[in-house]
A and B are shown apart, each in its own frame.
Chain A
């Protein structure tokens, strides 16, 4: 993934700082609780939700099993419809392709539809380095871009900002990028939206090149699909002369009929709407209507390697609805930035360490950014067992094992910094597998119970900073049983 997040502190440190930020916690709590309640109501309206969920899971799994087949079909269909398909193995390749395509048009500005894939590869920064300005047109992305900030949520990238902060950003920054904010802008949602509309209108009408991602790609017809709420995406998809779509290879579905399932699962899970306000579909090019040049950049960037892992591959079913973020108690406290990736929350905790590998400190800490409460699995519209994958990745971190990197099987060594924990786990397992030793330990603890410190040393200290330890009882259950029932059974 992109270098934007390199040097990010590991999750526990970043989260600790976020927990202390009371404004952030307040903003997040309010936003996530509102949307999770709405989602629950929207989902409860459908009697067949669990069947839909199972169907979504099955379609994605089947497609992933035959991904090569469907991608080739997609390429044929896109090409037949007048588009051009490019294959990008990693972020650098994808960025180079897009930069080349933009430069070929002679333009130095592009308008963008909100897209996770282009964020994942750091496209805006790559274009910037080549003298090309990329304008985000999604309201929340605009806020993030103007504020020189990083997105903190999949669906609502500026979720960490409140209205007053947004007003200040518009007021101070819009002028530097184009049309300034109107005089005397207030923080009412209507005025903020109007300011953004005026600012963006200029960009839409001037742009010759549009860049998008896609929520789905239909293999049988080569059609790409974007669902959105604001309509800015449709502007970017129809007004420019050249359209470049950068899409992860896992977004393909075999047929139009499959969309029927996902167009029910996605909006209800993400915005709690029965149907999203705008659904745009585009297939290649059409004479004198819409973009006259269409390029599809198919992005791998770690996906094929992820597919090679039997447990971890389910993360590729993700349709980026963000429901798991909104119910996650850890996300709610830590905020999106702590995850050090464009994919925050539970899905980020399992996707980033697979796409990027677990070598960096942040990626090795992400599988532990969960209490395994299971709320994410419960809401996930494609039933990704996120806790299962988290534990699977924890094993990869502490015990190492076989993974696929760039198509080659390699054996990972256990991560550094876990030696003491590993030794403790081994010792604990030994004691637990020798009840006699366990019992001796319990007795020792009971006998010395008056001497136990109220504060623990080492990694346990954090526990006693905010919690009182239970007292060790005088007699273990085992000893009580032995004393009272020992002889008679």
Chain B
């Protein structure tokens, strides 16, 4: 089984810890993971803002970069959702615009092998206990794309429940959007900030020491809001929790 890590542009540039944690976790579970350097961005910011044509070269790049792999694993719910939900749309539209089947074929190759990390762990590797150790109270925010587009359901929870030392706290209003939404946070800043503030209040009310998600984009917005409010809650990507062990604790 040839497995490639799709680290995503946000993680690559701003959250390399999450990428390193994903590698460490997968290797601990016996998966030999590659990082094809030709990869870049899934095209989500462009596509969601209305620049579909700007996304097309990135679909082609994705297809080429991961051509030789059976699985593409990514620690980002929204990037996995972008590939699964929107690549076929981009392909179909290009075909409808008379530019041939090439993009649709690229999408058809990309979709079945792209997995969000928790899907890969639970569905492909068949594990829910990854031998992690994280002695803190944690609350989990299910991100919108993970929840509604990918349908991750209880996979992240089941993984968290098996982490030694971890105490999971229920998040009130968990399924409500945190207000990030990519360029939405800039274009509708006031509404985005109000949504973020409500999410932050909910997180603070749990008394948890850390909040985790499967997506650093949302976590950047949530963490930035918490920090500005002076809250002590730490934003942590789920992969970093799962990578932590007693021998190599989270730092």
Footprint of B on A, CB under 8 Å? Answer: 11-12, 15-16, 19-20, 25, 329-330, 333-334, 367-375, 377-378, 388, 391, 393-399, 421-422, 425-426, 428-429, 432-433, 435, 438, 442, 445, 459-460, 462-463, 465-470, 472-473, 475-478, 480-482, 485, 489
Asked whether A391 lies within 8 Å of B50 as measured between CB atoms, the reply is yes
Q: Does B191 contact A (CB under 8 A)?
A: yes
A467 with B225: in contact, given A333-B194, A429-B54, A473-B14 (CB under 8 Å)? yes
Chain B binding surface, main DSSP class: helix
Q: Does B166 contact A (CB under 8 A)?
A: no
A437 to chain B: closest CB distance in Å?
10
Asked whether A330 lies within 8 Å of B188 as measured between CB atoms, the reply is yes
A466 with B148: in contact, given A333-B191, A429-B54, A485-B35 (CB under 8 Å)? no
Task: Tell me which residues across on chain B come within 8 A of A11, comparing CB atoms.
Answer: 188
Asked whether A428 lies within 8 Å of B45 as measured between CB atoms, the reply is yes
Task: Tell me which residues across on chain B come within 8 A of A367, comparing CB atoms.
Answer: 50
**Contact among A12, A394, A429, A469 with B50 in the assembled complex (CB-CB below 8 Å):** A394
**Contact among B52, B182, B186, B188 with A15 in the assembled complex (CB-CB below 8 Å):** B188
Q: Does B158 contact A (CB under 8 A)?
A: no
Asked whether A371 lies within 8 Å of B46 as measured between CB atoms, the reply is no
Task: Tell me which residues across on chain B come within 8 A of A473, comparing CB atoms.
Answer: 14-17
Asked whether B225 lies within 8 Å of A477 as measured between CB atoms, the reply is no
Asked whether B46 lies within 8 Å of A470 as measured between CB atoms, the reply is no
- Residue in chain A with minimal CB distance to B177: A373
Pull 27 A–B residue pairs with CB atoms less than 8 Å apart, ordered by A.
A12-B188, A15-B188, A333-B195, A368-B188, A371-B184, A372-B48, A372-B184, A374-B147, A375-B175, A375-B176, A394-B50, A399-B50, A429-B43, A429-B55, A432-B40, A433-B61, A435-B40, A462-B190, A465-B193, A466-B197, A467-B221, A467-B227, A468-B227, A468-B228, A477-B7, A480-B16, A481-B19
Footprint of A on B, CB under 8 Å? Answer: 7, 9, 11-17, 19-20, 34-35, 37-41, 43, 45-55, 57-58, 61, 89, 144-145, 147-149, 175-177, 179-197, 220-221, 223-225, 227-228
Asked whether A435 lies within 8 Å of B179 as measured between CB atoms, the reply is no
- Residue in chain A with minimal CB distance to B176: A329
Task: Tell me which residues across on chain B come within 8 A of A467, comparing CB atoms.
Answer: 193, 196, 221, 224-225, 227-228
CA distance A422 to B183 in the complex (A): 13
Asked whether A463 lies within 8 Å of B9 as measured between CB atoms, the reply is no
- Residue in chain A with minimal CB distance to B147: A374
Asked whether B41 lies within 8 Å of A432 as measured between CB atoms, the reply is yes
Asked whether A371 lies within 8 Å of B193 as measured between CB atoms, the reply is no
**Contact among A19, A394, A469, A476 with B191 in the assembled complex (CB-CB below 8 Å):** A19
CA distance A373 to B149 in the complex (A): 9
Asked whether A15 lies within 8 Å of B184 as measured between CB atoms, the reply is no
CA distance A368 to B181 in the complex (A): 10
CA distance A393 to B50 in the complex (A): 8
- Residue in chain B with minimal CB distance to A473: B16
B7 to chain A: closest CB distance in Å?
5
A330 with B37: in contact, given A395-B52, A433-B61 (CB under 8 Å)? no
- Residue in chain B with minimal CB distance to A374: B148
CA distance A255 to B20 in the complex (A): 60
CA distance A395 to B225 in the complex (A): 30
